[in-house]
Structure 1
């Protein structure tokens, strides 16, 4: 009997790789400290003290600029607006509000974003220096381009700056030389002294920027 050789084509298509589970969404708050995680099935709130609370994850209500989760005993409102944690120079992608019973907690979530875009192409008024409100006859201003600071307090001024990992450093300030009388002169001197030092930059609120280093501080309010 003759043997018969059967040639079967090889199956060349590789099996698809197993899908990796999505990482949980995370949020934090600092006053008081709390954390939150949202995975495929649950939402878990963890306070600094006391018991954690885990609820079944409901279907999200998707809005123009965020998502809302209404679970039994907990509501989580995520808005895609950048957020400062209030304790460092870190900026997060989202603003998060958690309501448990009658208590509402504010925090940040969605991961840290690069702070190098925090100040470029923004315009501000100088609201306070070293914790003291600025009251001058005309608004004291400061604006940031990609690499320069320009402003006017008593004199007009400008300087080059670098912003790296949340720290602002400047080169020599160049200004006009008009004689300054009254509060504007004192404000200008204090701002120039502050800018001559490395300063940490963080959001005080959505419309406020704080430059500080423990010895000096300049609080800026977004120009309208």
Structure 2
């Protein structure tokens, strides 16, 4: 009797967990999002590598299969695991990429295709703009493929 009851409780718990996961996936798809942030570089063979840079203050973010690394002159390096980017629903994949950086804050890196992005310090023009949100700081700059 105890084994049968324990088995039913376990089955009920598994069914409840599965239902919650299916509901969350369904809700995300209805909103037009694909929850692909769980993908890591080892599982993603199409990792695009980018370098984003900003001035005033100077900062950079490198996106590669080994991770997403933020560095600046005034703080230590922050390393985040690689996550596959979210893309705009119904738009070309190359138009915008949003990386949700894992951590205690809602850190986000957005790389957007533009006609031209100037870093304001050099004569270089870049094909992408970059916006980095780290906690309550917002940094803007330019980006290019590595």
Greater than 2 Å deviation, 4+ residue runs: 21-24
Q: CA deviation at 1:59?
A: 2.0
Q: Matched residue of 2:83: which SS?
A: coil
Q: What's 2:118 paired with? A: 84
Confirm or deny that 1:62 pairs with 2:87.
yes
Aligned length: 92
Cα RMSD after superposing both structures: 2.2
Confirm or deny that 1:42 pairs with 2:72.
no
Q: Which runs of 5+ in 2 are unaligned?
A: 1-45
Confirm or deny that 1:102 pairs with 2:136.
yes
Post-superposition Cα deviations, 1:158-213, rounded to whole Å, max 9, x if no partner, equal: xxxxxxxxxxxxxxxxxxxxxxxxxxxxxxxxxxxxxxxxxxxxxxxxxxxxxxxx
TM-score computed with the length of structure 1 as normaliser: 0.38
Post-superposition Cα deviations, 1:101-158, rounded to whole Å, max 9, x if no partner, equal: 011100101159xxxxxxxxxxxxxxxxxxxxxxxxxxxxxxxxxxxxxxxxxxxxxx
Q: What's 2:55 paired with? A: 30
Confirm or deny that 1:53 pairs with 2:87.
no
Q: Which runs of 5+ in 1 are unaligned?
A: 1-20, 113-224
CA distance in structure 2 between the aligned counterparts of 1:109 and 1:47, rounded to whole angstroms? 15
Post-superposition Cα deviations, 1:60-86, rounded to whole Å, max 9, x if no partner, equal: 101232110112242100100121000
Q: What's 2:101 paired with? A: 71
Bigger Cα Rg: 1
Q: Matched residue of 2:74: which SS?
A: coil
> Does the 8 Å CA contact 1:68/1:75 hold for their aligned counterparts?
yes
Quickly say closer, same or farther: Cα 1:23–1:71, change in 2 above 3 A: closer
> Does the 8 Å CA contact 1:92/1:111 hold for their aligned counterparts?
no
Q: Matched residue of 2:122: which SS?
A: coil
Q: Which has the higher strand share?
A: 1
Which structure exhibits the higher relative contact order, with contacts defined as CA atoms closer than 8 Å and separated by 6 or more residues? 2
